[in-house]
Chain A
Amino acid sequence: MSEIIPTITQLSYLIAASFFIMGLRYLTSPLTARKGNILASTGMFIAIVVTLLDFSVLNYQMILLAIVIGSLIGGVLARSIKMTAMPQMVGLLNGFGGGAAALIAVGEFQRLSTEEIILTDSFVAIFPGIFIGCVTLTGSLVAFGKLQGIIKGRPITFPLQHYINFFLLFTFIGASIFFVIASPDPSFVLVLVGVSLILGVLIVFPIGGADMPVVIAMLNSLSGLAASTAGFVLGNNILVIAGALVGASGMILTNVMCKAMNRSPTKVLFGSFGAKKEITKAVKGDKNVRSIDVEEAAMILGYAKSVIVIPGFGMAAAQAQHAVSELAEHLEKRGVNIKYAIHPVAGRMPGHMNVLLAEANVPFTQLNDIDDINPEFKRTDVALVIGANDVVNPAARHNKSSPIYGMPILDADKAHHVIIIKRGMKPGFAGIDNELFYNKKTMMLFGDARDTVSKLIEEIGHI
């Protein structure tokens, strides 16, 4: 009997792992995605129940109490969070995952260090477990703080930051080796924890708002790797598999984001984008900006045949997604063909704009990726830019001295007319002037995104 139960446990873990993989598989289409999520959560449920039935788990009351507390917090968070705040939510969850993994590693360390022979496989895995877990925890908390606006979003640099980071990294590695060779007093492990916690803060702290999508994706990946290392520590394959899946997912997203910004992951981590003062002087010559009022914009939009909407972080910040969707609906009633062009780094995390527009009832079939939509701009009457900036800056195509040179952009300037809804002439996160503002085709419609779009809806009703 004592042999059968562990076998059943392991087989159930295998089923759970299959559910995770199938669940992710269903995420490849919006039509099946919800089913996929339910499948993955079923896998999780199986894994948790089986673990609770494990013979070594005796502390039921406390564990169930902890699960109830966690469920309540998680449930409230999930229900109450605004869709615009999704990057913070994901950031926070990344941190919790990392924190849990770090606690497991430290806990196992405590347990093993009271026993005689401690030099086992799992003992070796404890060090990366502590490291990845702690870095994910504090890194995510800093990212959360930045996204939430508690910590300044602008890139912050301090002297010798890279040297200090490398010094801390080597301290950690050195201390780990010291542990394996000399097995010093177990309380020395606090040094390892401390160093990793500080390193997490120092790595994310200098990174600016524009790079947040990359950072969130990286931390997502790390939270998965933290789960994997916890799996190594405990010798538990389900943790290793699930963690690896998440790790891979985060890596792919990191890559997608980096490509979309034409930056390498190392540059994001060590470059502190936008920290330097504006070097590239904006295009010389005619710096005339044509500004129009709501009535005029309503006329142009109302009599257009086709409009491509380009949303950006400004739309999220102003909570304007519902107004934008309403505007699109009114225009569609007038026979205007509406599409949305979504740049991969629009917003603060991958896919952020898509979720906001889906929330506002925009059908996902109208949401287009950069590659699909770019050829269509030249056949389009109006490109309507709402709260986006750097992702439509043509300087990325031709101005080699521009910090965003080489970044793929949405070709808004190829549309017959461009209307840009913007609060003022302030540059975007890259801290550079946008050539598109001075283009002859461009009309600036100054104002808060939500207000302006609401006024547009009203005006279009009059024509």
Chain B
Amino acid sequence: MVSELIVGLFVFVLSMFVGREIIKKIPPTLHTPLMSGANAISGIVLVGAILVSGPQEISLVVMFGLVAVVLATINVVGGFMVTDRMLKMFKRKDENK
């Protein structure tokens, strides 16, 4: 039984390995921006939330979806913006003066 779930598991596990290999190399100096940036990326649930709130007629499901859209958007916008705000501050010596 090669179902959608199994394919998904393949994608999941392989992505974890990719993530591990890249993120291992990120220096401790950037761990806070990494977390907020990762936060923004986990805001990808916004895609799911949009799909759930897709139907025209308003139902309980759609309401749930819309609340999820708000929460996930906060995650995406807040996460990417605050990460950019932090990364802007990281400068070498000569750039300071």
Contacts and interface: CB of A to CB of B under 8 A. Distances in A.
Contact of A37 (B16, B47, B64, B87): B87
For B17, B28, B47, B75, the residue with the greatest tally of chain A CB atoms inside 10 Å of its CB is B47
Contacts, number: 384
B92 A124 contact: no
B47 A47 contact: yes
B30 to A, nearest CB: 6
A240 B89 CA distance: 32
A459 B19 CA distance: 50
B91 A363 contact: yes
Interface in A216-254: 216-217, 220, 223-224, 226-228, 230-253
Contacts of A252: 20, 23-24
A441 B45 CA distance: 54
Given A66-B70, A358-B86, A243 B29 contact: no
Given A220-B39, A249-B38, A350-B28, A63 B69 contact: yes
B92 to A, nearest CB: 5
Contact of B36 (A25, A93, A358, A367): A93
B11 A241 contact: yes
Interface of A: 20-21, 23-25, 27-31, 33-34, 36-38, 40-41, 44, 47-48, 51-52, 54, 56-59, 62-63, 66-67, 69-71, 73-75, 77-79, 81, 83, 86, 89-90, 93-94, 96-97, 99-101, 103-104, 106-108, 110-111, 121-122, 124-125, 216-217, 220, 223-224, 226-228, 230-253, 256, 342, 344, 349-352, 354-355, 358-359, 361, 363-367, 369
Provide the main secondary structure of the chain B interface: helix
B73 A67 contact: yes
A241 B61 CA distance: 25
B3 A24 contact: no
Contacts of A227: 42, 44-45, 48
A75 B81 contact: yes
A73 B74 contact: yes
Contact of A83 (B12, B55, B86): B86
22 contacts: A24-B37, A30-B90, A40-B37, A44-B46, A56-B55, A58-B56, A70-B73, A75-B78, A78-B79, A83-B86, A93-B40, A93-B79, A100-B68, A103-B52, A106-B64, A107-B60, A122-B5, A244-B19, A246-B41, A248-B16, A349-B35, A351-B33
A107 B20 contact: no
Given A121-B3, A220-B35, A246-B42, A100 B49 contact: yes
Contact of B73 (A66, A246, A251): A66
Interface of B: 3-5, 8, 11-13, 15-20, 22-56, 58-62, 64-93, 95-96
A89 B82 contact: yes
Contacts of B64: 103-104, 106-107, 110
Contacts of B5: 121-122, 124-125, 232
A237 B10 CA distance: 10
B38 A355 contact: no
A107 B81 contact: no
Nearest to B54: A57
Contacts of A25: 22
Given A44-B76, A243-B12, 11 more contacts: A27-B37, A29-B27, A33-B30, A33-B87, A66-B66, A96-B74, A103-B71, A125-B5, A220-B35, A234-B52, A244-B11
A105 to B, nearest CB: 9
A28 B26 contact: yes
Given A37-B37, A354-B32, A97 B85 contact: no
Contacts of B89: 355, 358-359, 361
B11 to A, nearest CB: 5
Contacts of A352: 32
A245 B61 contact: no
Contacts of B78: 73-75, 77-78, 89, 93
Contacts of A79: 81, 85
Given A121-B5, A238-B44, A27 B50 contact: no
A70 B69 contact: yes
Pick from B12, B37, B48, B78 the residue with the most CB of A within 10 Å.
B48
Nearest to A96: B71
A228 B88 CA distance: 30
Given A37-B87, A242-B41, A245-B15, A86 B32 contact: yes
A44 B41 CA distance: 7
A227 B24 CA distance: 21
Contact of B39 (A93, A107, A125): A93
A183 B11 CA distance: 30
Contact of A365 (B16, B87, B93): B93
